[in-house]
Amino acid sequence: MVKVFSGEITIKSLDSFVYNILGINEKEEMSWKIYLKNLLIFNIVAIVFLFFLQEFQAFLPFNSQHFLGIKSDTALNTSISFGSNTDWQSYTPESTMSYFTQMLGLTVENFLSAAIGISVGITFIRGFIRKSTIQLGNFWVDMIRALVYILLPLSILFSIVLISQGVIQNLKPYIPIETLEGKNMFIAQGPAASQVAIKHIGTNGGGFFNTNSAHPYENPNKLTDYLEILMALLLPAAFPFVFGIMINNRKQGWIIYISMMVLFLLGLFGTLWFEFQGNPVLANLGVENGSNLEGKELRCGLFNSMLFAQSNTATGCGASSSMYDSLLPLSGLILMFNMMIGEVIFGGVGTGIIGLLAYAILTMFLIGLMIGRTPEIFGKKLESYEVIMAILLLWLPSIIQLILGSIAISSSAGLSSLGNPGPHGLSEIIYAFASGSGNNGSAFGGLNSNTLFYNLMMSVAIFIGRFITIIPALAIAGSFAAKKQIPEEVQFPTANLLFLIMLIGVIIIIGALTFFPILVMGPFIEHLLLQVV
């Protein structure tokens, strides 16, 4: 990745051909404001295109089931969702989207939104390594390199592997069958493998089928289950090392990676512990060990179900192989917390490293206050502007999800969609807005989100959650790039155990202080109620 974005590994003739067609001057660099302007214009145009594609799909080809145009609030939600790398799905794909919409709309948007995330992540890192300049690279060059040299090759390779294991890739009409009970039904078909590959590699997460990776046409066996987990983690986990190489401090990259992995493993062990403990209510009813297998992917087992859940909420992927609505309360709490802290436990492609480094900025600011030293980080002096931008980057998505969640639980339109009353119903709402504003896209289940209220509210959460991360990130990068580099011999050491502990502590404490009240009222109270039933 480092060599791709430095121009060392590229096909010059291919690059020139693409740049000439698009009218791009690859040597022309941009300030952070121009970079942001181009990014926003492109992203909004892509969202508008996807909206109209859905509206007019009835008149477009590859629509063997003759699906009509999608209602406007659902189309708006889907357009913003896929355009922001969230892939929140309030609809049922196999009964809503034509093959044409899936291919030209959703799959293409999966590539574009992931490429944008990668580009912003690389640009954010450039801010630390450039000095006395306002130039941060060229948005169009970065995005094309992400598409051509990273996302496309990985997706083609992974698609072939998935097809070899039984994931379907065709344009056949749905197959009518008669069940053993004598009822008629259809088995959905379609070009699934190509979308499943990029949904994991690009940490998008939107399923080709409604049951996502629990569907055997998306995830046929244990091998594909592990591979889909690996693909979701691959690029987000690579970014700490990209960071370490680019700032010429590989040890620092390892520290960032270890901090992510520690948080990941804490969440994984927590979910496994609670689920293997079993449900006390079921134990009282005579079920052996209170085994809580409801909603799990039994083909792959409880362990795989929880590994998949942790991997896809710790990253920005949001794919699922089990029903999170059926998890024990504290397992669900962990998945919510993964998203609430800003998707920094690996996170989305590009955006995960941004969130983690924003926490690192806050950590160094606090260290500076404690020891009475002018704060600096990775060779750049920290001033109020960068700290304020980092706080906005981490704080505003949290505030948005709490505000929108409070509106939902205090309105009849919000409560009418609940599948369960009480604390569990509150958890359904909390999870939805954490997933939306965190640009994760996974669903807790039990909440009917395909209503005018939730389509509009989730659209707001998703849109703000995406761009309130990107805008401050580019602003920080622009500010750092304009500064001089602090000599290495006078830099505060950050590639050590002390910084690692401080960083992890700041992430957990800020997340806990922000969300403790709402998590107590939801999953924690539900946990206590299970003990007394």
For CA atoms 267, 219, 224, 295, the dihedral sign is: positive
Q: Say whether pLDDT at 290 is over 80.
A: no
**Mean pLDDT, rounded, for 111-117:** 96
**Mean pLDDT, rounded, for 180-188:** 92
**Mean pLDDT, rounded, for 71-89:** 95
Q: Say whether pLDDT at 114 is over 70.
A: yes
Q: Say whether pLDDT at 339 is over 90.
A: yes
Q: 16: pLDDT confidence band, cut at 50, 70 and 90?
A: confident
Q: Is residue 262 part of a domain?
A: no
**Mean pLDDT, rounded, for 368-389:** 88
* 21-44 tens-digit pLDDT: 888 988 899 999 999 999 999 999
**Mean pLDDT, rounded, for 312-339:** 93
3-state secondary structure 336-374: HHHHHCCCCCCECCCHHHHHHHHHHHHHHHHHHHHHCCC
Cβ 143 vs Cβ 116: under 8 Å = yes
Q: Say whether pLDDT at 489 is over 80.
A: no
pTM metric for this prediction: 0.94
**Mean pLDDT, rounded, for 223-240:** 96
Integer Cα distance of 79 and 81 in angstroms: 5
- Among 425, 432, 359, residue whose Cα is nearest residue 402: 432
What is the pLDDT at residue 369?
85
Q: How many domains does the structure of the chain reveal?
A: 1
Q: 533: pLDDT confidence band, cut at 50, 70 and 90?
A: low
**Mean pLDDT, rounded, for 206-222:** 93
Q: Say whether pLDDT at 329 is over 70.
A: yes
For CA atoms 21, 26, 28, 29, the dihedral sign is: positive
**Mean pLDDT, rounded, for 81-94:** 93
Q: 285: pLDDT confidence band, cut at 50, 70 and 90?
A: confident
3-state secondary structure 195-260: HHHHHHHCCCCCCCCCCHHHCCCCCCCHHHHHHHHHHHHHHHHHHHHHHHHHCCCHHHHHHHHHHH
Q: Say whether pLDDT at 370 is over 70.
A: yes
H/E stretch holding 405 reads: helix 384-409
How far lies 332's CA from each of 135, 170, 284, 327, 445, in Å?
A: 43, 36, 22, 6, 11
What is the pLDDT at residue 402?
93
Tokens found for residue 402: 């709490």
For CA atoms 4, 232, 95, 83, the dihedral sign is: negative
Q: Is residue 319 part of a domain?
A: no
Q: Say whether pLDDT at 223 is over 90.
A: yes
H/E stretch holding 414 reads: helix 412-415
Q: Residue 278: which region, alpha, beta or left (left: phi > 0; alpha: psi -120 to 50)?
A: left
Q: Is residue 177 part of a domain?
A: yes
Q: Is residue 157 part of a domain?
A: yes
Q: What is the DSSP string of 77-118?
A: HHHHHHHTT-----S-GGGT--HHIIIIIIIHHHHHHHHHHH
**Mean pLDDT, rounded, for 274-291:** 83
Q: What size, in residues, is the chain?
A: 533
Q: Is residue 353 part of a domain?
A: no
**Mean pLDDT, rounded, for 130-135:** 93
What is the pLDDT at residue 455?
95
Q: Is residue 404 part of a domain?
A: no
What is the pLDDT at residue 424?
93
What is the pLDDT at residue 152?
96
Tokens found for residue 262: 């520690």
Cβ 518 vs Cβ 399: under 8 Å = no
Q: 376: pLDDT confidence band, cut at 50, 70 and 90?
A: confident
Q: Say whether pLDDT at 491 is over 80.
A: no
Cβ 533 vs Cβ 280: under 8 Å = yes
Q: 472: pLDDT confidence band, cut at 50, 70 and 90?
A: very high
**Mean pLDDT, rounded, for 266-290:** 87
What is the pLDDT at residue 287?
80
Say how many CA atoms lie within 13 Å of 226 toward its Cβ.
4
Q: Say whether pLDDT at 295 is over 90.
A: no
- Among 452, 342, 403, residue whose Cα is nearest residue 77: 452
Find the Cα–Cα–Cα–Cα dihedral 298, 443, 200, 509, rounded to 10°: -110
The pLDDT mean for the chain works out to 92
DSSP 316: S
Integer Cα distance of 507 and 32 in angstroms: 27
* 411-464 tens-digit pLDDT: 999 999 998 889 999 999 999 999 999 999 998 888 899 999 999 999 999 999
Q: Is residue 361 part of a domain?
A: no
Find the Cα–Cα–Cα–Cα dihedral 381, 383, 386, 391, rounded to 10°: 130
Integer Cα distance of 120 and 385 in angstroms: 19
The boundaries of the domain holding residue 165 are 2-207
What is the pLDDT at residue 88?
93
Q: Say whether pLDDT at 288 is over 80.
A: no
* 54-75 tens-digit pLDDT: 999 999 999 999 999 999 999 9
- Among 40, 101, 42, residue whose Cα is nearest residue 70: 101
- Among 171, 235, 226, 159, residue whose Cα is nearest residue 204: 235
